[in-house]
Amino acid sequence: MDKLMDYPWFMKAVALVLAVLLFSSVPNDDESETAVNVPSDENTETITDVQVKSYYDTENLVVSGVPRTVNMTIQGPKNIVQQAKALRNFEVYVDLTDVEIGKQRAEIKVRDISKRLAVTIEPEYVNVSVQEKVTKEFKVEAEFDRRKIQEGYIAGEASIDPARVKITGAKDIIDKISYVKATVDEDDPVNETISREADILVFDRQLNKLEVVVDPDTVEVTIPVKSSSKDVPINIVRKGTPPAGITIESMKLDTEQATIIAAPDILKSVDSVRVEVDVSNLSEDTELTLPVIISNGVVKVTPETAKVTVNVNNQVEKTISNVPIGIEGETEPLEAGFLPPDNGLTNVIVSGPSDAVAALTAEDFKLIADVSGLQGGDHQVNIKVTAPQNIKWRLARETASITVTEKEV
């Protein structure tokens, strides 16, 4: 062997063999699979939902009609088919780099896939529309369901930030834009100001959604919500009749106003609320907590109850007999006197608190018959009464029988 190594032709032969072996071990540039292809290993697979890429002038053009995904059938050696299906290290695309504006037919192609695979794409061709890209600015309108506003509350005008957005799309699509809306969705009844991030939706006149690019694609929508309310007085309404001998001296509320919430049209027609006090069973000073009563259509009242302080007097009645009637206004030479059966006396019927009435006597009353200007003859003269202020009174007779005559010389 060592002797063979000394011959140059032997070394050249060995080098040639080694070179052939090295060359055969290097993979083919187009495929990494083994070159062995056994007919029995042929396989067919369909790869679904393969994304389609489009290549065109995105700065100035808009392309429509290219499907998002396609189905692709591949056939070839089983191991290569399985590898391609698993890795998806290929690209399905439409080359529109040199197209002109208008409608045309384009081929869906595939690249970066083994040449040993037979490929079928469904669909193979598509009709595309190439249009000029246009960008315009539009005002955004807020949209929300006003039925979600709780009864007794009102929503003001919505504010949107930003109020205008830029919309980019094909010229004929941009020309169709009629509505740019930011829709606020709210599931629960609303009784306070809400602020939400809302997506921008673009519609044509028939409210068909348009496929365009919106910048920004969301805006902040604020909808002010406040109660529809006003302050009104609380009235005391007396119900029933006090028991015999009882007088209601005063009724006073701890608060005189209430705040009501109602729809604006209802609010205009409501001027007050009330508490009803049943006095038919009151016999002493009492403090009552009563509901504040509202009219139909009023949603809420604050406060819902009010305290009423009721002061009463126990009333008694008695007759003070034989109260003298004085005469004034006599002028010379006339004089006045009483005719029977009055004889200058009458009865006074008084009523009031028992302690005040019990202490009354005839001396507490001053009764006067004024005869000023009367000529001779018999007259009925009204009786003037001066009485204590904390009681009620009435006369048994309202007039006195008076006779006016000349004085005897």
* 39-132 matches 140-227 in fold: yes
For the cut 50, the answer to whether the pLDDT of residue 401 exceeds it is: yes
Confidence of residue 20 (pLDDT cuts 50, 70, 90): low
Q: Burial, 337: exposed, middle or buried (Cβ in 10 Å; 0-12, 13-18, 19+)? A: middle
Where does 39-132 sit in CATH, by number? 2.170.120.30
Q: Residues 389-403: what's their mean pLDDT?
A: 90
Query: Mean pLDDT highest for which of 7-11, 143-147, 265-269, 367-371?
Result: 367-371
Q: How confident is the model at residue 284 (pLDDT cuts 50, 70, 90)?
A: confident
Q: What is the pLDDT of residue 96?
A: 93
Confidence category of residue 11, pLDDT binned at 50, 70, 90: low
Task: For the full predicted model, state whether its pTM sits above 0.85.
Answer: no
pLDDT at position 175 over 60: yes
pLDDT bin (cut points 50, 70, 90) of residue 19 is low
pLDDT at site 201: 94
The stretch 98-126 carries a mean pLDDT of: 93
Span 24-34, average pLDDT: 45
Percent of the chain at pLDDT above 90?
56
Q: What is the pLDDT of residue 369?
A: 94
pLDDT computed for residue 228 by the predictor: 84
Report the CATH fold assignment for 229-314: RNA Polymerase Alpha Subunit; Chain A, domain 2 (2.170.120)
Average pLDDT over residues 275-280: 93
Asked whether residue 283 carries a pLDDT value surpassing 60, the answer given is yes
**Arithmetic mean of pLDDT, 381-400:** 91
Mean pLDDT, rounded, for 327-335:
89
What local confidence, expressed as pLDDT, does residue 29 receive?
43
Name the fold adopted by 316-406.
RNA Polymerase Alpha Subunit; Chain A, domain 2 (2.170.120)
Region of poorest pLDDT, from 85-89, 185-189, 252-256:
185-189
Q: Considering the chain, what percentage of its residues have pLDDT values greater than 70?
A: 90
pLDDT for position 26: 47
Confidence of residue 22 (pLDDT cuts 50, 70, 90): low
Lookup result for tokens 């409501």: 270
- Mean model confidence pLDDT for the chain: 87
> How high is the pLDDT of residue 294?
93
Q: What is the pLDDT of residues 42-73, one digit of tens each?
A: 899 999 999 999 999 988 888 889 999 999 99
Q: What is the pLDDT of residue 100?
A: 86
The CATH homologous superfamily for domain 140-227 is YbbR-like domain (2.170.120.40)
Domain ranges of the chain: 39-132, 140-227, 229-314, 316-406
